[in-house]
Amino acid sequence: MAIISFWSGTKGETGKTASITAIATFLAVQHNYKILILDTKYNDYSYQDCYWQEDKTISLIHKQDAKTNIASGITGLSKAILSNKTSPEIVTNYTRVVFSENRLEVLYDTDVPKEDYDTYKKVFKDIAKIASRYYDLVFVDIDSNLDKHTIDSLLEVSDIIVPNLSQKIRQINNYIAEKQNNVILQKKLIVPLLGRYDKNSKYTIKNVSRYMKEREKICAIPYNTLFFEACNEGTVDDFFIRFIKINPKDKNAFFIEQVKNAAERIIYKIQELRMRM
Amino acid sequence: MNVTNILFTFVVLILIGVVIRYVITKNKNAVVEQEIDVDDKTYTIEKMIQFVKKRLDEITKVNLYDIGLSEEELKRRKAKKYELKKALKGCTYGDVNDKKYVKELIYDLLYKEYGVTEVNISKSIPFDVPSLLTSQDKFDILLYMYKKDFGYEALTQLIKKYNLATLKYVAGEAKPCYVITKEEIDEIYEKENLVLSFQDKLNVLVQRIYQHYKGYSSIDEIRDMNIDGVSGRSIRTSRKFLKSSCTNRWRLFKSNYRA
């Protein structure tokens, strides 16, 4: 249905992965959408660390299983797509499940040779497009290290672009300059987002929005100790199930409130996009 | 009596414990994935074909219910297995997409499981010693490299570039005919002076294995090209390439190509 790309113009720590994880998990718990997260990073374990605790003891049954399995993850899917197997249902066969019934799945790859990655990064755009025919929301985590051509092709197919910023004035200035020069950013729906947000900084949501001359307040995903611990321990799903109905006086309430705000803004933009069409 | 019984029970329990521990340790240390025995013939094409056949059989015939997968995972694995089975069936009918899928799988099996490397790949096809290459090896390499640049126009480009569609007199034939000879292939290979990366070499090898396993033998790649058709005859003396008179494309006519 919709492709939402999280992108950062600079190679800095903007908390992109954490922001996607928070928003996608929140939406999966709160709504009844079919959601996919597509990770474009090379051999990255971030999403694995967020959702699964790896069992280091490989049992006999798993050894046998590995022997009878075909390649999974992005590598397996890109091979199928390059062989013109492009039915939308095919994507789900290569993902890893967080919530069953396609509520939340992650498509990523680890332990892939560089040559394979160089081949399959050409089909990221196709994967996103095919997946959007099956899933309601496809969140794409665009790696800043990708070449310009691949990044542009992903931004081009996106319905909504979420530029990830940090509370650094240089990065905000860079984004403002990029927005003026980049044609793709000008024609797409944009939801700017501050990652790892610290509400005690002078670069508050209100100040940054005013500085960027945004009509609406921009979104933010605050830094939250419990959430970032959950991101390392593979318990993000449990975290959201536990805190989804939180007491407003709780110290974690601000985090949940901001995630909810960002998620609802994205849903609102999707509805706006549908109205335009 | 009671004390003897208790002691006896105690001994039996210890024995059972020891046996269970032994079985668990044995299973833990059991090597499921059999290492491939490396000898002189390991990296020959015949051995590799056998390996690929065996592995694809294992993958397609495995009983997924025995593995103990979750419901969701079982559904996915069944879909993937079905996709592979469909591709294995489709490629025998000449479906190029299924062929590509199966070849990708063979590539992975050889590279990741069989341990084909830059060093041992030359045992199957002697890429590094051109004098040891057969004309078929050379033609396969040429066609692969041209296919990288020109896609399905590779054969047309090769014939055009070296002006191969000319009438020639061949020893033992009274009339001139359209034919691509072994000597021409050798000469072209020498002129092209191709430098192959490991991926290129492995792709050539995968194509060779595929064409013997599932494909159409030596004409497998030729029949995928943009040509009017391939025709084979059992009479060896009449293997010829003929140019189509009415189109710009090339036609393999009355031919059964053997490089």
Write out pLDDT tens, residues A123-170. Answer: 999 999 999 999 999 999 999 889 989 999 999 999 999 999 988 898
pLDDT of the residue at A138: 95
What CATH number is associated with residue A183? 3.40.50.300
More confident residue, A181 or B243: A181
Chain segment B81-99, per-residue pLDDT in tens: 898 999 999 988 888 899 9
Examine the pLDDT at B246 and tell me if it is beyond 80: no
Chain B: closest CA distance from residue A70 (Å): 8
Which segments within chain A are labelled E, that is strand?
A: 2-7, 35-39, 96-99, 104-107, 137-141, 160-165, 189-190, 193-197, 219-222
Examine the pLDDT at A85 and tell me if it is beyond 90: no
CA distances from A128 to A52, B124, B195 (A): 23, 39, 36
CA distances from A162 to A1, A151, B105, B223 (A): 17, 13, 37, 48
Inter-chain touch A83–B87, beta carbons under 8 Å: yes
pLDDT of the residue at B237: 45
Residues of A in contact with B76 (CB under 8 A): 92-94
B135 and B242 in a single domain? The answer is yes
Give A63's pLDDT tier (boundaries 50, 70, 90). Answer: low
Give A56's pLDDT tier (boundaries 50, 70, 90). Answer: low
Contacts of A55 (CB under 8 A, 6+ apart): none
- In the three-class reduction of DSSP (H, G, I as helix; E, B as strand; rest coil), residue A178 is classed as helix
Residues A218 and A193: beta-carbon distance below 8 Å: yes
The phi, psi pair for A5, rounded to 5°, reads: -100, 130
Give the distance, in angstroms, between the CA of residue B179 and the centroid of all CA atoms in the same chain.
Answer: 28
Residues B102 and B210: beta-carbon distance below 8 Å: yes
The span from the CA of A130 to the CA of B39, in Å, is: 46
Helix axes A225-233, A16-30, angle to 10 degrees: 90
pLDDT of the residue at B239: 45
Structure tokens at B243: 């140019």
pLDDT of the residue at B243: 41
Would an 8 Å CB–CB cutoff place B24 in contact with chain A? no
Examine the pLDDT at A255 and tell me if it is beyond 90: yes
Helix (H) or strand (E) holding B186, with range, is helix B182-192
Would an 8 Å CB–CB cutoff place B170 in contact with chain A? no
B26 and B132 in a single domain? The answer is no
**Phi-psi label, residue B66: left if phi above 0, alpha if psi -120 to 50, beta otherwise:** alpha
pLDDT of the residue at B220: 85
Give the distance, in angstroms, between the CA of residue B177 and the centroid of all CA atoms in the same chain.
Answer: 33
Give B254's pLDDT tier (boundaries 50, 70, 90). Answer: very low
Give A244's pLDDT tier (boundaries 50, 70, 90). Answer: confident
The span from the CA of A68 to the CA of B67, in Å, is: 10
The span from the CA of A224 to the CA of A233, in Å, is: 14
Task: Report chain B's mean pLDDT, rounded to a whole number.
Answer: 82
In sign, the C-alpha dihedral spanning A171, A173, A175, A181 is negative
The span from the CA of A37 to the CA of A4, in Å, is: 10
A110, with CB counted inside 10 A (0-12, 13-18, 19+), is: middle
List the Cα angle B76/B77/B79 in 5-degree steps.
65
pLDDT of the residue at A65: 61
Chain A: closest CA distance from residue B81 (Å): 8
Residues A25 and A104: beta-carbon distance below 8 Å: yes
Q: Pick from A59, A64, A83 the residue to mutate for testing the B interface (most B CBs within 10 Å).
A: A83
Helix (H) or strand (E) holding A21, with range, is helix A16-30
The span from the CA of B216 to the CA of A234, in Å, is: 50
Contacts of B144 (CB under 8 A, 6+ apart): B200, B203, B204, B207, B221
Over residues B12-35, mean pLDDT: 73
Q: How many domains does chain A have?
A: 1
- In the three-class reduction of DSSP (H, G, I as helix; E, B as strand; rest coil), residue A160 is classed as strand
Inter-chain touch A61–B199, beta carbons under 8 Å: no
- Number of A/B CB contacts below 8 angstroms equals 62
Q: Quickly list DSSP for A205-220.
A: HHHHHHHTT-SSPPEE
Examine the pLDDT at A52 and tell me if it is beyond 50: yes
pTM above 0.80, yes or no: no
Would an 8 Å CB–CB cutoff place B63 in contact with chain A? no
Would an 8 Å CB–CB cutoff place B85 in contact with chain A? no
List the Cα angle A171/A176/A181 in 5-degree steps.
120
> In which domain, by residue range, is B19 found?
1-30
Contacts of B246 (CB under 8 A, 6+ apart): none
| Whole-number percent of chain B with pLDDT over 70 | 84
More confident residue, A25 or A185: A25
More confident residue, B159 or A102: B159
Examine the pLDDT at B80 and tell me if it is beyond 50: yes
Examine the pLDDT at B175 and tell me if it is beyond 60: yes
Q: Residue A70: which of B69, B84, B97 has the nearest Cβ? A: B84
> In which domain, by residue range, is A111 found?
2-276
Q: How many domains does chain B have?
A: 2
